[in-house]
């Protein structure tokens, strides 16, 4: 508590308020552009922070971070093209709602869920960071492997239509994840002697290709005279309490899942959103409508991926261990400004840490306001002539995939996966499992193989010596067999 007053003092300065406002705005706008996500948004802003003061620099990036995660939902909902994997699950119900002419409602659900998920994770971060950091340390390779195995089951829950096609698409994603350097031996795999492939397939390049570019190809392939028949309502319509009341359970569960997954390094917002969506699909009373424009789907995805923001800062701040590329950039900024995240952070820079906490809360509230104001502009996208919109999407996709690593080869990856996504959709394969496989694949592989090193190649020990892992494996088995059990129970 001794830090709260000096922290308030730090946050209340005009430059910090401007930094938070501008950061959140830039984050939302960049995040909302298809193909550009949190990493691009942060790297664009990073050079500016070098000449800024400590607290404004950090709060600027916090704003960009939170804003970009929320912004990603906008393009996912309005044009069915998630710029980043973290908002991929938002498409499933967001876009059907738009097609029903309820774009304003879809944005309302996404905005409210994002803000509540974000605020929930702030509370988690403020109240329980040291305790949660201790739990994160209990997640060694074997526990992580068990968690990722559980996350992979969401491929089954989002494979509508043909389960076999969904699983095949998931395997395709896992296979793509093995291209590049072997994480344990460093050997190059599946590069066919072609040097650029040794860097592996970049996740962002694949995601914008398979989701956004293939969507463009599909729309171009449709008969040109066909005009979308949904009437776009511009602006935003926040859901009423009557709408919320039956959905509070989904919201609470998704916020918890997001915060918890965020705490574990190496997982991230996409994993959280997929697990949360799968859980809603399993347990929501409205599960049969999920995937057809049911708000539960948007809540599950958006509350979870925004709840990751606070959760991911737990290991970053408390242990000095960033969970992903995004928090790694944040950590570097802190170090450059003379703040060393890690075990001694609280003792050395308690006031700055509390300033970050307060800033996070303020940023989430700013986000709500800006979301409501910007929605009017965003929904105009639906009134843009389609050829113009599609051309812009193509340009942004290519810009985004090149922007992440600056590697021209990634442009070819985007085009290639755009074509692949087109054919997958043409033959009725869902494309989301490919992305899930690619997101989870690297962590799945490295944790499995690290675990095998520790157990001297005994897979049996994964189940015997590790109670947390065993619990997760049992949960996984339960999730997979639950539909059968439910059927078997007489009504």
Residues that bind another protein (CB under 8 A): 39, 42-43, 46-47, 50, 136-141, 180-186, 188, 193, 195-196, 198-200, 202, 265-266, 315, 319-322, 325, 328-329, 331-333, 335-338, 340-344, 404-407, 446, 450, 453-454, 456
- Of 242 and 347, which CB lies nearer to another protein in the complex structure? 347
- Tell me whether residue 218 is exposed, middle or buried, using C-beta atoms within 10 angstroms of its C-beta: 0 to 12, 13 to 18, 19 or more: middle
| Least distance between another protein and beta carbon 133 (Å) | 9
In whole angstroms, the minimum distance from the beta carbon of 64 to another protein comes to: 12
- Minimal distance, residue 197 CB to another protein, in Å: 9
Residue 233 vs 405, nearer CB to another protein: 405
Minimum distance, C-beta of residue 72 to another protein, in the bound complex (Å): 19
Q: How far is the CB of 317 from another protein (least distance, A)?
A: 12
For tokens 């910090």, the residue is: 16
From the CB of 407, what's the least distance to another protein, in Å?
6
The residue (of 343 and 426) whose beta carbon lies closer to another protein is: 343
Nearer to another protein, 194 or 427 (CB): 194
Which residue, 117 or 441, has its beta carbon nearer to another protein?
A: 441
Query: Considering the complex, what minimum distance in angstroms separates the CB of residue 86 from another protein?
Result: 18
Closer residue to another protein in complex, CB, 129/389: 129
Q: Which is nearer to another protein, 42 or 382 (CB)?
A: 42
């Amino acid at each position: 508590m001794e830090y709260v007053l000096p922290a308030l003092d730090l946050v209340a300065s005009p430059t910090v308020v401007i930094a938070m406002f501008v950061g959140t705005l830039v984050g939302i706008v960049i995040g909302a552009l298809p193909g550009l996500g949190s990493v691009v948004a942060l790297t664009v802003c990073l050079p500016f922070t070098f000449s800024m003061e400590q607290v404004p620099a950090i709060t600027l990036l916090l704003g960009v971070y939170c804003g970009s995660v929320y912004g990603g939902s906008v393009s996912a909902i309005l044009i069915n093209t998630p710029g980043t994997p973290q908002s991929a699950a938002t498409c499933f119900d967001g876009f059907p709602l738009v097609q029903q002419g309820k774009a304003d409602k879809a944005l309302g659900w996404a905005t409210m869920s994002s803000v509540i998920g974000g605020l929930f994770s702030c509370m988690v971060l403020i109240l329980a960071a040291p305790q949660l950091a201790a739990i994160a340390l209990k997640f060694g390779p074997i526990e992580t492997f068990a968690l990722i195995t559980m996350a992979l089951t969401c491929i089954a829950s989002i494979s509508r239509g043909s389960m076999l096609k969904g699983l095949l698409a998931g395997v395709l994603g896992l296979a793509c994840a093995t291209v590049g350097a072997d994480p344990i031996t460093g050997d190059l795999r599946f590069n066919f002697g072609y040097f650029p492939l040794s860097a592996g397939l970049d996740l962002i390049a694949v995601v914008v290709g398979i989701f956004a570019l293939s969507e463009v190809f599909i729309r171009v392939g449709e008969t040109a005279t066909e005009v979308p028949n949904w009437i776009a309502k511009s602006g935003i319509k926040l859901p009423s309490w009557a709408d919320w009341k039956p959905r509070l359970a989904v919201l609470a569960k998704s916020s918890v899942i997001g915060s918890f997954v965020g705490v574990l390094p190496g997982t991230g917002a996409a994993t959280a959103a997929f697990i949360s969506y799968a859980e809603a699909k399993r347990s929501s009373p409205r599960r049969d409508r999920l995937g057809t424009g049911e708000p539960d789907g948007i809540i599950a995805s958006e509350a979870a991926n925004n709840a990751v923001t606070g959760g991911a800062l737990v290991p970053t701040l408390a242990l000095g261990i960033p969970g992903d590329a995004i928090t790694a950039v944040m950590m570097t900024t802190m170090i450059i400004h003379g703040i060393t995240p890690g075990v001694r952070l609280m003792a050395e820079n308690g006031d700055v840490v509390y300033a970050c906490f307060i800033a996070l809360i303020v940023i989430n509230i700013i986000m709500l306001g800006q979301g409501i104001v910007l929605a009017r502009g965003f929904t105009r996208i639906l009134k843009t002539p389609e050829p113009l919109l599609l051309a812009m999407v193509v340009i942004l996709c290519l810009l985004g995939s090149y922007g992440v690593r600056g590697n021209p080869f990634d442009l070819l990856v985007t085009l290639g996966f755009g074509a692949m996504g087109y054919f997958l959709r043409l033959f009725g394969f869902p494309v989301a499992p490919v992305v899930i496989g690619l997101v989870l694949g690297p962590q799945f592989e490295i944790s499995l193989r690290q675990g095998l090193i520790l157990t001297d190649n005994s897979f049996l020990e994964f189940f015997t010596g590790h109670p947390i892992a065993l619990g997760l494996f049992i949960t996984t088995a339960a999730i997979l067999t639950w539909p059968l059990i439910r059927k078997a129970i007489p009504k």
